[in-house]
Structure 1
Amino acid sequence: MAEPSPRREPAPVRHLARITDITLAVLTLVFFVTVALATGVHSPWRGPIPLGLLLGGLLLFRRRWPMTVLLLSIGGIFVYHLTVHWSPAGWIWPAAVAYFTAATTSRVRWVSAIGLAQLVYSAIDARGILEFNPVRYVFHVAGEGLLLAILIGAGLTYAAAARWRGRLRETDSRAHAAEERLRVSHEVHDVIAHTLAVVGVQLNVAADALEEDPAAAAAALRVAKDVRNRAMTDLRSLIAILRDIPGDTTPQADLASLDTLIADARTAGLEVTLHEQGDRAAVPAITAIAIYRVVQESLANTLKHAGARKAEVTIGYRPRSITVEIVDDGRGVPDGVTEGHGLAGMRERVSALGGALTAGPVPGGGFAVRADIPVAGSTA
């Protein structure tokens, strides 16, 4: 009967499985021959050793052909019992590992039927014991039957546990995929919000200057085009991730792109100053992305809602934590920001890294966003 091809496992798992099979093969040989010698067999090379070698050798292939190994093991046991006048070996336990392995497959009903047939033959073969020791005969048959039931039950339990572990891994994988898609969706929101804010400002500049200063209008349109092109590149990369499309993707924006982000905000008419304290090169990648997105979303909100002329970005890089603060001189409580998705997305992003984000008006007018982000791997 055909058997399904095994699923390819990682190399360490395959090596461990091979070591396990070799160990079981050696133990089967040693245990079988030891029992035979202990119960009075004087010529081990005439039966116990060849059968032990056969049973042990077959175990090396039990994972690939479990049913074939079981049938050949039972065949070897039959030949042993038929050719040796007296044998201390039972019928089930020499093939215990083969029974267990076959019971972990989908053919457990065949395994049960084969084991039952072997038990019936074992009971018939041992009928001589019944004549002078009925108690021993009952224990012999019942013991073989109990061992078979234990082996099949253990195989079923092992298979069920393996399926459960597989489902758990699949569930974890899906959860990680969902988290990744949620993260990417936040990235998409940030890119679109920033792009629309900068492009909108530049289009307004171009519209106002079109008749009086065509050169200024053309410059504004070029800036809008450049920002739009960079955004399209980022969006293509992010959408490819959402669609699970393999291929080269553009790295996510991080602190290396911070200067470009500030320049875009300045060309949109916002006077932005950047103050950095510490070494930005020492910041881990995941933290760098979060910092960039917090600054990006804050400046986008300032451009869209605050009516501000100036914004100050201050980033403090410390060994154990990083502080990001963006303060503008706008309306203090910009419409649409406190209840919008931008602040919620920033807060979720920072919270996922174990940090905290606060946002609100500042005394004297203006709006401030502050994020405190611990550095991954640091100790408090």
Structure 2
Amino acid sequence: MSDDGPEAAASLLGMDNLTRFLRTWGAPCAAAVFFTLWCIGEAGRMGGSFLVWPGAPTLTALTLAIGLAAAVPLASLVLAVLLAAALLGHLAGPLSSDWAIYLGVGYALFFASLNPKTRAWHGPAAALVFSGAFAFLMVSRQYGSGVGWLGVLGVARPTMFAYWLMVSGLLLVIMLLCWLPGMALRLREERGWLTGARLKAEENLRHAEIDLVVEQERNRIARDLHDVLGHSLAVIAAQADGSRYLGKDQPKPVLNALENIAVAARRALADAQRVIDGVREDSLERAPQPGLADLDTLIAQMQAGQLSIERTESGAPVELETGQQLAVYRIVQEALTNALRHAGRGTAVMIHLDWSGPGLALQIGSRGAAPEGGAAGGPGVGAVSGSAASDSGEQGGQPERIGRGIPGMRERANLAGGWLTAGPDGADFRVTAFIPYSAAAVSPVVASAALPAGEPALALGRAGE
């Protein structure tokens, strides 16, 4: 496992939690335990009162130094050093138990090292001063040349300097051994911070690279759409206008058709430009989307394309969510477009919206002239490969092209919380959709009750497809 990966950052989490716990609660708890244990151990020598015990000032000061070590490390270390300078003059002999109280400075060093504000040299400097002062007072203050301590240590009367050097070195090692574990924990925590910051920076860099690639791809798609689609639509509009102005003697239906072509091309050009801008600026979803209020405009446009459309409604209209209104609009738009494409001009289309059930029941049926070479009453609304003819994979001996109309409509209905079916119904081709009033999906059995009277419940058994 690499030390530079996310696994390394995760492995540091437990140690970081330990460091934070020691920094927050460790020092106060250690100070309380230190004070309590010494009071218990020296209870028989206190003479019935803590205040008259000679070690009381030292124990109190060291307890305070330990308790404040993590919060205010510099003040704690200064207090510990001052103890060595001011209080060690009362150092007891080697057979006494009081002198070991001063080794509590090591606890203060440990907890002080956990604070990020503590400099790396603070601990060694305090340990050096304390060890030197402690050893000096042990040798020279009460026992002169250290005879009393030498007997206990088994040292054969060295010089005072050699004895001081030996004791101060031993004390310095003990103090540094108390300082270094805390520094190791703190450095490990800082390493975790740095690792987390580096991983965050790498993640941001990856996101920036992805955003850059996406932006470049958007610009490429926008350029291609502008160069190909925009140019073609502009040419169609220009040629339709030119043909209309040059052919003034043409029959009125021809002129109307040319005008409709030009208007539709310009409208498509505007829509294409909106899509291009949305692709380039990532603002397509923030642009206004069509809804139920735009159905009349859509029907008028398709009627100009020689479709005979009748729209009916039953029940009291209910306000649908924005996404549901867009789904209804796109389903109607796709169904009418497929009716014009597959059934041809002059096709009669019926659109019925029923608001009386637990959701909007939408039915779109078509009947009219089939495309050239097809039978009357052939595929109409939504007639693409989702029809029964395409289910066999062939029609008239030719493989049927896989279409996108019905799957797209069905997906929009599903995203709106409903369902959609499409298929032939006798001589008609019918699209049936249900959009619930709530976000929860409604089963086809419940929705079937919302179908308008007299209309066949087309393909309800396949509603779950």
Residue 289 of structure 1 is aligned with which of 326, 332, 357?
326
* Alignment of 1:367 onto 2:429: yes
Q: 1:91 to 1:246 in 2, by over 3 A?
A: farther
1:232 paired residue number: 269
Q: By how many angstroms is 1:230 displaced?
A: 3.5
Matches within 5 A, 1:1-380: 39=35, 40-42=59-61, 85=84, 88=105, 90-91=108-109, 93-94=111-112, 96=114, 98=116, 140-141=178-179, 143-145=181-183, 147-148=185-186, 150-152=188-190, 154-155=192-193, 159=197, 211=249, 213-214=251-252, 216-244=253-281, 250-280=287-317, 282-307=319-344, 309-317=347-355, 320-330=358-368, 331=370, 332-333=378-379, 337-338=384-385, 339-364=402-427, 366-378=428-440
Greater shift in the superposed pair: 351-360 or 157-166:
157-166
> 8 Å contact 2:127–2:172 — kept in the other structure?
no
Match of 1:282, SS state, is coil
> How many angstroms apart in 2 are the aligned matches of 1:350 and 1:122?
75
Code of the aligned partner of 1:314? H
What 5-or-longer segments of structure 1 have no aligned partner?
A: 1-23, 57-72, 100-110
Shift of 1:35: 6.3
What is the CA–CA distance in structure 2 between the aligned matches of 1:296 and 1:358, rounded to whole Å? 16
CA deviations 1:162-206 (Å, max 9, x no partner) are: 6698799x59x97xx99xx9xxx9xx9xxx9xxx9xx99xx7x97
Counterparts of 1:247 and 1:298, CA distance in 2:
23
Question: Structure 1 residue 137: deviation in Å?
Answer: 5.8
Deviation at 1:306, TM superposition (A): 1.7
SS of 2:288's partner is: coil
Structure 1 residue matching 2:116: 3-state secondary structure: helix
Return the offset for 1:155: 3.2
Match of 1:18 in 2: none
Distance 1:97 1:237, change over 3 A: farther
User: How much has 1:225 moved relative to structure 2?
Assistant: 3.8
**C-alpha distance 315-151 of structure 1, shift in aligned 2 (>3 A):** same
> Partner of 1:59 in structure 2?
none
3-state SS in 1 of match to 2:309 = strand
Deviates more, 1:285-294 or 1:326-335: 326-335
Equivalent-residue separation in structure 2 for 1:289 and 1:376 (angstroms): 15
User: How far has the Cα of 1:337 moved from its partner?
Assistant: 2.5
Return closer, same or farther for 1:122/1:255 CA change in 2, 3 Å cut-off.
Answer: farther
CA positional deviation for 1:120: 5.8
Code of the aligned partner of 2:434: D
Return the alpha-carbon distance in structure 2 between the equivalents of residues 81 and 222 of structure 1.
Answer: 97
The count of corresponding residues between Structure 1 and Structure 2 is 297
CA distance in 2, matches of 1:318, 1:92: 77
Map Cα deviations across residues 269-300 of structure 1 (whole Å, 9 max, x no partner). 11111123345451100010011011101111
Q: 1: distance between equivalents of 2:355 and 2:204?
A: 42
Cα 1:147–1:312 shift into 2, 3 Å: same
Q: What is residue 52 of structure 2 aligned with on the other side?
A: none
1:307–1:256 distance in 2 versus 1, CA, 3 Å? same
Q: TM-score, normalization: structure 2?
A: 0.48
Q: What is the distance in 1 between the residues matched to 2:66 and 2:357?
A: 69
Per-residue deviation, 1:356: 2.8
Question: Would the aligned equivalents of 2:275 and 2:284 in 1 still touch at CA under 8 Å?
Answer: no
Mapped partners of 1:375, 1:155: distance in 2: 50
Deviation, structure 1 residue 248: 12
Tell me, yes or no, if the aligned pair for 1:319 and 1:375 is still in contact at 8 Å: no
Q: 1:361 touches 1:367 (CA, 8 Å); kept in 2?
A: yes
**Counterpart residue type for residue 379 of structure 2:** V
Alpha-carbon contact 1:276-1:314 (below 8 Å) kept: yes
Q: Structure 1 residues 259, 33: CA separation in 2 closer, same or farther (over 3 Å shift)?
A: same
| Post-superposition CA distance 1:97-150 (Å, at most 9, x none) | 637xxxxxxxxxxx9xx75x6676677567569958899768625642553355
* Structure 1 residues 151 and 225: CA distance shift in structure 2, 3 A: same
- For the residue of structure 1 that corresponds to 2:360, the secondary structure is strand
SS at match of 1:251: coil
Instruction: Answer whether contact 1:279 1:317 (CA < 8 A) is retained.
Output: yes
Distance 2:272 2:251 in 1: 33
8 Å CA contact 2:417, 2:439 repeated in 1: no
In the alignment, the residues of structure 1 paired with residue 360 and residue 173 of structure 2 have an alpha-carbon distance, to the nearest angstrom, of 80
Distance across 1 between alignment mates of 2:301 and 2:433 = 22
Q: SS of the residue aligned with 1:323?
A: strand
**TM-score if structure 1 supplies the norm length?**
0.56
Q: Distance in 1 between matches of 2:412 and 2:202?
A: 32
Contact 1:96-1:151 within 8 A present in 2 as well: no
Instruction: After superposition, give the CA deviation of every residue in 1:30-51 in whole Å (9 maximum; x if it has no partner).
Output: 9867866875345999x899x7
